Amino acid sequence: MQAAVDKYKVLILAPTGEDTVVLSNVLSKDGLTSFVCESMEQLCEGINEGAGTAIIAEEALFPMNIERLTQTVQQQPEWSDFPFIIMARAGSASDRAWTFMTGSHQLLNASVLERPVLTCTLLAAVRASLRSRDTQYRVEQELRRRTEVEVSLRAANEELQAFSYSISHDLRTPLSTMKGFTSLLLEDYKNILDETGRDYLTNIIKSADQMNRLINDMLSLSKISRKDMIMQNIDLSVLSMAIIDELQKSQPHARVDICIQSNLLARGDEQLLKIALTNLFSNAWKYTSKAPRPRIELGHFVKDSETVFFIRDNGAGFPMEHLSKLFKPFQRLHSEKEFTGTGIGLAIVQRVINRHGGRIWAEGEVGKGATFYFTLQ
């Protein structure tokens, strides 16, 4: 409880004993806690212990004391901007106070009151200083809380990454074994097995491949969060054409009308943006596979001084009431029979966009296609 009171304690340094008595009495009558310092050294100790403000008589501001006080303030943490009240003599005699505020030892958070000071003026200045200090303490508490959260998140991410690697390793070995033996059975005993038996084995192999894709996507999602970003200027148009070429090579018989706006420039990590665009274009390619005349478009527009990129297709689309599920891992809006997938692709895209300080959202209509919008900071 004492530590909390000390944070709002008013330190007093005045060489003249009469001043200290008057100041202490005025503050005490107003319910404020004060502490009379016998030296600048003691006042600096009080600041370091967590006082709320300090009242310093101008007579105490000779060069050696100013130097000592300046050192103390400079050693305060970044969040701290300790407030001072300087009691100066009236008129031209207050040169020391102004030197303290504007000279080479400038301390910005200082107020000067010329004596004689009205009680109400003094109390108003003290309470304003205490409010300023209270705000600083609140900022410090919030910074500490955020630091603790960041440490916890970092530890959780490290555990998640270790878990992902462990799971992927532990799953891949038996998965490869299962697929390998199943393939051997299908090859060596295909003449013995009937059609139903061969279908069973084929389905096992397909499931193993699906699980392997899921493991790979989980690892990709994990890696994206910790990859060091290399920011550079990128032509999204050129990058997108390269991705489309790869998709076309993987399905040479597909006929898709591609419209990519030229000179779409952005700044970001090329490797991460390639991952995001590959997922978006792969989805568009997949979901337009049943459209009579498949079409995929990449473009941009400017809204409220912000560049918005979009990828639009005329594929299967999705119901807008399921929009909240769209970017969540393992959430699929179509069955495996309709369209294959793991349900992680859009979660990967969102994480990439978030790491670039951007936003991503979507619009869709069943049977008429979907449009994905994203920004990059």
Name the 3-class secondary structure at 125: helix
Contact between residue 1 and residue 38 where contact means Cβ atoms under 8 Å apart: no
Model confidence over 166-212: pLDDT tens digits? 766 777 778 888 889 999 998 898 889 899 998 899 889 888 887 78
Question: Residues 207-219: what's their mean pLDDT?
Answer: 77
Position 330 scores a pLDDT of: 65
Residues 73-103 pLDDT 10s: 888 888 888 999 988 877 644 555 555 555 5
Q: Is the pLDDT of residue 105 over 80?
A: no
pLDDT by residue (tens digit) across 301-324?
999 889 999 999 998 888 888 788
pLDDT of residue 132 exceeding 50, the answer is yes
Cα dihedral sign, 292-295-301-307: positive
The answer to whether the bond into 116 is cis (omega within 30° of 0) is yes
| Cβ-proximal residues to 321 (8 Å cutoff; 6+ apart), any chain | none
User: What was the pLDDT predicted at 338?
Assistant: 55
How large a percentage of the chain has pLDDT more than 70?
A: 88
Parallel/antiparallel/unpaired status of strands 265-269 and 231-235: antiparallel
Mean pLDDT of 129-139: 91
Task: Judge whether residue 339 has pLDDT over 60.
Answer: no
Residue range 16-30: mean pLDDT, rounded = 85
Residue 5 — very low, low, confident or very high, per pLDDT cuts 50/70/90? very low
Distance in angstroms (rounded) separating the CA atoms of residues 180 and 168: 18
- For residues 307 and 232, what is the distance between their CA atoms, to the nearest angstrom? 17
Q: Is the pLDDT of residue 336 over 60?
A: no
- Whole-model pTM: value is 0.54
- What separation in angstroms does the CA of 5 have from each of 12, 29, 52, 219? 16, 17, 9, 51
pLDDT of 2 reads 42
pLDDT over 70 (residue 298): yes
Model confidence at 7, pLDDT cuts 50, 70, 90, reads confident
DSSP 158-195: HHHHHHHHHHHHHHHHHHHHHHHHHHHHHHHSTTTS-H
**Confidence band (pLDDT; 50, 70, 90) for 131?**
very high
Predicted confidence at residue 249, as pLDDT, reads 86
Q: What is the pLDDT of residues 233-290, one digit of tens each?
A: 999 999 999 999 988 888 888 888 999 999 999 999 998 999 999 999 988 988 888 8
Structure tokens at 269: 């990590």
Q: Tell me what pLDDT residue 95 has.
A: 59
Which range (25-34, 102-111, 152-161) has the least confidence?
102-111
Q: What is the pLDDT of residue 93?
A: 46
Q: Estimate the share of the chain in helix, then strand, then coil, as percent rounded to the nearest 5.
A: 55, 15, 30
CA 40 to chain centre: 43
Proportion of the chain above pLDDT 90, given as a percent: 36
What is the structure's pLDDT at 20? 86
| 8-state DSSP, 294 | -
Alpha helices of 251-297 — where are they, by DSSP H?
270-287
150 has pLDDT over 80: yes
Please give the pLDDT value at position 236.
96
Residue 228 is predicted with a pLDDT of: 82
CA distances to 72, 116, 140, 262, 343 from 100, in Å: 14, 20, 27, 61, 64
- The Cα 57–Cα 85 span in angstroms is 9
Is the pLDDT at 124 greater than 90? The verdict is yes
Residue type present at position 39: S
**pLDDT the model gives residue 35:** 92
The pLDDT value given to residue 208: 84
